Chains A and B, each alone.
Chain A
């Protein structure tokens, strides 16, 4: 176990190193000149020169990379070229938003995906199977930006039940906060629900045909008890750990969803920064989210092994 942990931790460093190179080079290879972008409409040449010097944009890429990594290792992620605020401060401002949105999305995903997966597995081959399938699949079959717009149209414009956009922090007013995040969370959670449904279904199918369950059935227990007490418990453990890994999907989906609902989270921050060539912001956010993602992966793997001793190879 310990050697496994040590091995995985050792893998963390080169992976993060590659992440940093990947995102750094992608950014700097993008056409367009951040100094020009910052200079705005007027494009005063003197200002552009000064900006280039100030942010080392005139240096070769490896040199810029070196300075950036140096900064990161001492806790300085640079500052946003556009608003002059430190990247870490921006991240700190937006992390609670993204966390709230993300957790709500995952909760919704669990509420939709797991029951759908169980029903689909238990009633395999029947109309319930297809129905549950469809119920969960439509989430990844609709572009989330389209779904978001449709929801705003229905619930904000036509019905007036929910605010069309904007974010209210939990600390300010929990009811308004929930109202402002329920639609985007639903849009995000939908996509993950499908993945969870698949995992749950295959895990349940596997468990339902195992000796363990056959024994329970042979003992004469009711089908309900078999499912709820025995099958589920075994099936759900891997599903829960797998669900936590959907962070990547969450962030990808958040990019457009946050744009449409005007939620000031990571997704909007990143996509605006890419289009504004705000290098430091993109690099900083991707590095932070990559670290979280890899850590979650590690935690999930450990949990998986702890729960299932047979896998300790």
Chain B
């Protein structure tokens, strides 16, 4: 225990002092989060409405003033000719031109929202007319928002980034460090001590599990402070998922350092596995948005189980009853990858013939 504890402390020091590793495990994913978070994929879409000012509005003046206050409309004013050109080019959904007592609405066949705008305007006119005549409508519609928690893109992205960055850290830091140890003869030197290799592996694994929990915490804090995301589910369940996810990718990291003969070949092996998962593992977009045949593959990827579990917990507050298949998927992958690691990775050099 003493040995493993001291080795863990040493291994934490080594990891923290490795600036390159820190950059890739913490800063890089945070940059991604900032970039995607501030691009703002989810600013409410507004509809471009043009109002022709070339003719005097007359009676419709008051009505047009009301329309300008609609939050869903972005109002553009110009001459009728200008506005119709803009409509032609697809820059307006509707162009309204007051002509005497009527308002002519020019719509675009290529803009599906055109018809909706006209319908909404008609609706507005009817209710205004009823109100003007002091007649209360027979039926009123009251809207109640049921889905109070509307998922923004950053809230979708954040759990995926947590899973992605933990994958990167677990795979790369183990694969690079242990291949280097093997290459430089450090493992052989360790083998000359009475320490059991498993103690050293455990110390390094514990270090990285702690880092992965820290990574998740930093992401969540950054999300809370910068993007006001909400985390609904249990933090304990989140920690469990993070540790399971990190464990299976540590297995992958050790497998790679067993296969790679030099540190130069580590990125080749690692990217072969990690790179496709970056895009298919449910980080940047949902697996359900992929073609059906690809979904079959994507759903079985270790990163998909991981990001799904984290996302379910964080955005929907799902409990064990819902995420157990994902946790099970991680356990199965963990067993596969760690078993593979014990076959490929060894402190002992292979004795060449």
Q: Do chains A and B stick together as partners?
A: no
